[in-house]
């Protein structure tokens, strides 16, 4: 059994926090286009939620990954996608490689404050010409004595406007593109770091997303995570947790939309009966609930394998792919059943429709997930040539 009484105790504490400190303010944050990350993260950090599976010596709880998965699932009860995504960037996207491979010095400087909530982190991988194609990034970190001098730019950076530091993937050599990259912790206040603009997105309105430029940004080499040239490998490992987070975070969010749709269609009358009484409606909702449970089973299986120390690239990729596809189908179907109200921004199904669309793009597009799976299955064209 993946979750124990200890998990449920932490889950209840998180539920209480979300009900008191997040959901009452979501509509306001969505309207403003930003949420107070530093204030909220300090509160989450004080309760230990930002380091459940991080090392105790750097302020974490030292628990296994199942606790992080439980938290990701519970974040799905937040009534928007932007805030949980921002939290997930802090816990499961910008810090896993740092926690696993960083030196004690760099972990004290960057991981400890991230766990405490004293610092907001972001992850810098995507670029205008290299989104899902991670190996093709152009940002460079040239060696200059004991420093790196960074030049380039990053795009679609969640938390980028408010972040205190960025976990940056950059080319640190001229070798093969899978072995010439490093992950480097860069303070955002370093000279030459410029937040060019806050991006205007279709959804995820409460999450600040930035385009960032680096112009001769000088940082000490001690800020590098692990070995030079291993950044691509570290990032691929980090993607396992990111993609599992994406799958887990949508489970309760999807269930909420199903429940809200049942309630609305039960009370909405047309042609002498409730909308819910139409077979096409209640059958579709039953099918969608079944799909959510299937995704939960796959996600839990992948988490158990990760805890056992297995490479879960295949399962995590499948879960991420399924989560993105399901989010599109489910929210589209539910929005249709809301009729004209589904097209109104004031309804939860409309927000879910906008927010969920990112799941098939961010963290690797669906097509990239399919290519990864085909490569692992030996069916990708050109592999045997």
**Residue 74 known to be catalytic:** no
64 vs 70: CA distance, rounded Å: 11
**Dihedral over Cα of 115, 314, 327, 356: its sign:** positive
Check: CB of residue 164 under 8 Å from CB of residue 121. Answer: yes
Using DSSP's 3-state secondary structure scheme, residue 213 falls into strand
Two tokens, residue 147: 């420093």
Using CB atoms within 10 Å of the CB of residue 262, give its burial: 0 to 12 exposed, 13 to 18 middle, 19+ buried: middle
CA 113 to chain CA centroid, nearest Å: 20
DSSP annotation of 127 reads B
Using CB atoms within 10 Å of the CB of residue 173, give its burial: 0 to 12 exposed, 13 to 18 middle, 19+ buried: middle
Quote the crossing angle between the two packed helices 65-75 and 231-267, to the nearest 10°: 40
Residue 36, number of CB atoms within 10 A of its CB: 13
Check: CB of residue 364 under 8 Å from CB of residue 240. Answer: no
Two tokens, residue 246: 């994406």
Q: Closest by alpha carbon to 334, among 295, 270, 375, 280?
A: 280
Q: Which residues contact 135 (CB under 8 A, 6 or more apart)?
A: 177, 178, 232
At which residue do the structure tokens 């296994």 appear? 64
DSSP states of 342-369 as a string? Answer: GGSTTSHHHHHHHHHGGGGTTTS-HHHH
Annotated catalytic residue, options 242, 260, 263, 310? 242
DSSP states of 29-67 as a string? Answer: HHHHT---HHHHHHHHHHTTTT-TTS-GGGT-----HHH
Residues with catalytic annotation? 242
């Amino acid at each position: 059994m993946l979750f124990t009484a200890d998990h449920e105790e932490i889950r209840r504490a998180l539920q209480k926090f979300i009900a008191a400190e997040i959901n009452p303010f979501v509509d306001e944050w969505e309207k403003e286009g930003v949420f107070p990350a530093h204030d909220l993260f300090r509160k989450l950090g004080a309760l230990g939620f930002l380091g459940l599976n991080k090392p105790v010596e750097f302020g974490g709880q030292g628990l296994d990954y199942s606790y992080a998965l439980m938290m990701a699932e519970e974040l799905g009860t937040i009534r928007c996608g932007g805030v949980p995504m921002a939290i997930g960037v802090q816990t499961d996207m910008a810090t896993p490689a740092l926690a696993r491979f960083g030196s004690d010095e760099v972990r004290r400087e960057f991981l400890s404050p991230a766990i405490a909530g004293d610092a907001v982190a972001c992850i810098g991988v995507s670029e205008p010409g290299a989104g899902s194609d991670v190996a093709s990034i152009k940002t460079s970190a040239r060696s200059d004595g004991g420093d790196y001098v960074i030049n380039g730019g990053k795009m679609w950076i969640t938390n980028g406007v408010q972040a205190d530091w960025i976990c940056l993937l950059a080319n640190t050599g001229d070798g093969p593109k899978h072995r010439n990259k490093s992950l480097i912790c860069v303070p955002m206040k370093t000279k030459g770091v410029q937040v060019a603009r806050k991006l205007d997105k279709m959804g995820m309105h409460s999450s600040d997303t930035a385009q960032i430029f680096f112009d001769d940004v000088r940082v000490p080499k001690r800020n590098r995570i692990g070995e030079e040239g291993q950044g691509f490998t570290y990032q691929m490992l980090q993607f396992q947790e990111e993609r599992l987070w994406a799958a887990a975070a949508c489970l309760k969010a999807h269930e909420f939309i199903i429940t809200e749709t049942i309630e609305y269609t039960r009370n909405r009358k047309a042609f002498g009966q409730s909308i819910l009484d139409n077979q096409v409606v209640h059958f579709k909702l039953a099918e969608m609930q079944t799909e959510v449970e299937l995704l939960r089973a796959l996600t839990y299986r992948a988490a158990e394998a990760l805890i056992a120390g297995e490479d879960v690239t295949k399962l995590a990729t499948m879960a991420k792919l399924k989560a993105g596809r399901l989010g599109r189908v489910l929210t589209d179907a539910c929005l249709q059943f809301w009729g004209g109200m589904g097209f109104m921004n004031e309804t939860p199904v409309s927000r879910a429709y906008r927010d969920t669309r990112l799941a098939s793009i961010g963290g690797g597009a669906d097509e990239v997930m399919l290519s990864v799976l085909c490569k692992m299955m030996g069916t990708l064209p050109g592999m045997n040539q």
